[in-house]
C-alpha cells in the first residue's frame, strides 16, 4: 500500500483563513502564512490553499497572499480559486505553487483541463469537485457537482465528471462532500469510494473529518489516497502527529 497523505486545507477569504459548516457561517482561523509555517513543522505531507470566494466574486486569486504562504513551505503546495486561464496557472506556479486546483473554470471549459495538463504536466493539475447528494430513495445515490464556491449547481453527476476529467488529463481529484463539510461527522464514505473506484488517479477526500477514526475509515473503507482536513487541525483538536501515530498503529502507511 502506498503511503497515505494527510493534508491541511487553508480556505482563504479576504486574505484570512476561515472555516464554516457546509460552506456557510465562516469564522476566521488565522493568517495563511503563519498557519503554513505551523503545518510545515507539524508533519503535514502537503498543504492546500483555496481562495474560496474568487470564482463567485469573479476576481483574480490573491497572488500576494499565495506568495507569502509559499515562502513558508518546502512541502508540496496546491493553490485554487478563481483560476480561469493558462496565464493564471503559470503565474501561480511562478508564485510558488506546485499544483493548481481547478473547479469552476474546468466545468465551464473542460478543454482547459486537457490544454493545461499538456502544457504544465498532469501532475500539476488537480480537479476540485464539490459534490452534494441529491435525491433519495432506494436507488443508486447521486451527487451533483457545484461551482462558484459551492453556490451554484451544474447538473453534472460527480462520478461521471470525475471520470471525464481523468480522461482529459487531470492528475489528481480533490473531492469535497458539501453535505459533510465542517460538520466533523466523518467523510462521506459512499461518495469517496464511488469516485475512487471510478478513476485511477489519486483522490483526496475532503469534508467531515472530526477524529483520527474518521480518517482511518476514509482510507480503509473509502479507498482515498489522501485525507484533507481543516477544523481539527486549525483548532488543534487532533494534531497531525497524533493522527499519523494512530493511523500507523492501525497498519496505515504514513510518513512520520
Of 11, 51, 181, 188, catalytic? 11
Cα end-to-end span (Å), the chain: 16
Break the chain down into helix, strand, coil percent, rounded to 5: 35, 30, 40
Sign of CA dihedral 212, 161, 9, 25: negative
Residues 185, 210 contacting (CB under 8 angstroms)? yes
Please confirm, yes or no, whether 118 is among the known catalytic residues.
Answer: no
Separation CA 55–CA 111 (nearest Å): 18
Please confirm, yes or no, whether 179 is among the known catalytic residues.
Answer: no
Residues 243, 228 contacting (CB under 8 angstroms)? no
Of 14, 85, 111, 130, catalytic? 130
Known catalytic residues are: 11, 130
Amino acid at each position: 500500500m502506498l503511503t497515505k497523505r494527510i493534508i491541511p486545507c487553508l480556505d482563504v477569504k479576504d486574505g484570512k483563513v476561515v472555516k464554516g459548516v457546509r460552506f456557510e457561517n465562516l469564522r476566521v482561523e488565522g493568517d495563511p502564512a503563519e498557519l503554513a509555517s505551523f503545518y510545515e513543522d507539524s508533519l503535514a505531507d502537503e498543504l492546500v490553499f483555496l481562495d474560496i470566494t474568487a470564482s463567485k466574486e469573479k476576481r483574480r486569486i490573491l497572488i500576494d497572499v499565495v506568495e507569502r504562504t509559499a515562502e513558508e513551505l518546502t512541502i508540496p503546495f496546491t493553490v485554487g480559486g478563481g483560476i480561469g486561464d493558462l496565464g493564471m496557472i503559470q503565474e501561480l506556479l511562478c508564485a510558488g505553487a506546485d499544483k493548481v486546483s481547478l473547479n469552476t473554470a474546468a466545468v465551464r471549459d473542460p478543454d482547459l483541463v486537457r490544454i493545461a495538463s499538456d502544457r504544465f504536466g498532469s501532475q500539476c493539475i488537480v480537479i476540485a469537485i464539490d459534490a452534494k447528494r441529491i435525491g433519495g430513495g432506494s436507488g443508486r445515490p447521486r451527487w451533483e457537482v457545484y461551482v462558484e464556491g459551492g453556490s451554484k449547481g451544474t447538473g453534472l453527476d460527480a462520478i461521471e465528471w470525475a471520470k471525464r476529467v481523468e480522461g482529459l488529463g487531470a492528475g489528481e481529484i480533490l473531492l469535497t462532500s458539501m453535505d459533510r463539510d465542517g460538520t466533523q461527522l466523518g467523510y462521506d464514505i459512499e461518495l469517496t469510494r464511488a469516485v475512487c473506484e471510478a478513476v485511477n488517479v489519486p483522490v483526496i477526500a475532503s469534508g467531515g473529518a472530526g477524529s483520527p477514526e474518521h480518517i482511518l475509515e476514509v482510507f480503509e473503507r473509502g479507498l482515498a489516497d489522501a485525507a484533507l482536513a481543516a477544523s481539527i487541525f486549525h483548532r488543534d483538536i487532533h494534531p497531525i502527529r497524533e493522527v499519523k501515530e494512530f493511523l500507523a498503529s492501525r497498519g496505515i502507511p504514513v510518513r512520520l
